[in-house]
Amino acid sequence: MPDNPDEWRTMAERFGRKWNFHHACGAIDGKHIAIKEPHKSESLYHNYKGFFSIILLAVVDPDYKFVWVDVGANGSASDCGVFNQCSLFDGLENNTLGFQALEPLPDDDRPLPYFFIVDDAFPLRSWMMELFSARGLAHKDREFNYHLSRA
C-alpha cells in the first residue's frame, strides 16, 4: 500500500497508462465469501444475497493485485459499513496515508483530487469516484461511466 505522495502518484500514473483513467489510486470493492452457518450466529453472518458469509474488502492496483485487504466482517454488513470502520477510511479521513494532493490532469491546468474508484455502495467523497446514475445520461456521461468501469 502506498504511504507517501510519490507512491500514490506512481499508482495513479499506472492507472492512467493502463486504463486511460488518470488520478485513480486504486479500486475498492467488497466480496462475500461463503461460510457455513456459525453456531448461534442468528442472522449476523446472513447476507442480503441469502447465504452466510464474511466480507473481504480490498483495494486493487491497475493489474488487479491486492494492495490492501480487510477480511472477516460479518456478512450482514454493507461494503460501506465495513469500509467506514476500517483503518483505510480513518487514514483517508485524517489524511495520514500520505495521499496525493490536488494536481492537474495531463494537458490541463485545473487541480483535481486523486481518488479511489468505487461502486454505488459508497458515498461520494473528494477521494472517491463512482459512476453516474444510469438514468437519462448524456453521451459524455455514458462515456465517462464506460471508462470508469474499465478502470
Residue 34 pLDDT greater than 90, yes or no:
yes
Q: How far apart are CA 139 and CA 58, in angstroms?
A: 31
Residue 111: closest CA among 120, 124, 99, 100: 100
**Contact assessment for residue 105 and residue 112, using Cβ atoms and an 8 Å cutoff:** yes
pTM above 0.85, yes or no: yes
Region 5-14 average pLDDT: 94
Tens-digit pLDDT profile for residues 98-142: 888 899 988 899 999 999 999 988 888 889 998 888 788 899 999
Domain count, the chain: 1
Residue-level pLDDT at 132: 87
Region 64-87 average pLDDT: 94
Residue-level pLDDT at 52: 95
Region 16-40 average pLDDT: 93
Domain limits at 54? Answer: 5-150
